[in-house]
Amino acid sequence: MSVDRTGLSQLVGDPGSFREHHWGALPFEYRSDLFQEMNLEEVIWDEIDCGFLAKPFVALSPDVPDAWVTRIVQNTPCEGYLHPDHARVALKSGSAMIFPQSELWSVDVAHLLDEIREDFAFSVSATFVAVPAGSKDFDLGHVSGIGASEHVFALTTDASLRLSITPPKHVQMRDEALSGTGESGTVYYVPPGWSLRMDQDAPSAVLVIRLSEPTPQQCAEIGLAMFLSQIDDDIAGSHHRMTADEKLNWLRTSLPDFFSGLSTREILAHLASS
> Rounded to whole angstroms, how far apart are CA atoms 127 and 248?
47
> Rounded to whole angstroms, how far apart are CA atoms 218 and 147?
16
Write down the pLDDT at residue 188. Answer: 93
Task: Tell me which of 56-60, 155-159, 173-177, 179-183 is least confident.
Answer: 173-177
For the segment 37-66, the average pLDDT, to the nearest whole number, is 90
Write down the pLDDT at residue 37. Answer: 85
Tens digit of each residue's pLDDT (9 = 90 or more) over 196-251? 998 888 888 899 999 988 778 888 888 888 888 877 666 766 767 888 898 889 88
Q: What percent of the chain has pLDDT over 70?
A: 90
Q: What is the gyration radius of the CA atoms in the chain, in angstroms?
A: 23
The order of strands in the sheet holding 135-139 is 135-139, 195-200, 162-166, 178-181
**Farthest-apart Cα atoms in the chain, separation:** 75
> Rounded to whole angstroms, how far apart are CA atoms 28 and 21?
9
Residue 190, CA distances (Å) to 11, 167, 195 in order: 12, 9, 7
3-state DSSP assignment of residue 132: coil
Q: How many helices (H) and strands (E) does the chain have?
A: 11, 13
- Give the burial string for 42-60 (b: 16+ CB within 10 Å, else e): ebbeebbeeeebbeebbbb
CB 131 within 8 A of CB 200: yes
What's the pLDDT band for 129 if we cut at 50, 70, 90?
very high
pLDDT over 70 (residue 3): no
Write down the pLDDT at residue 209. Answer: 95
- State the CB neighbour count (10 A cutoff) for residue 148: 9
Residue type at position 64: V
CB 41 within 8 A of CB 97: no
DSSP state of 202: S
Going by DSSP bridges, is the β-strand pair 186-190/150-156 parallel, antiparallel, or unpaired? antiparallel
Residues in the chain: 274
- State the CB neighbour count (10 A cutoff) for residue 206: 26
- DSSP H or E stretch at residue 112: helix 107-119
Write down the pLDDT at residue 218. Answer: 80
Residue type at position 99: F
Q: Which domains does the chain have, with CATH numbers?
A: 9-212 (2.60.120.650), 216-273 (no CATH)
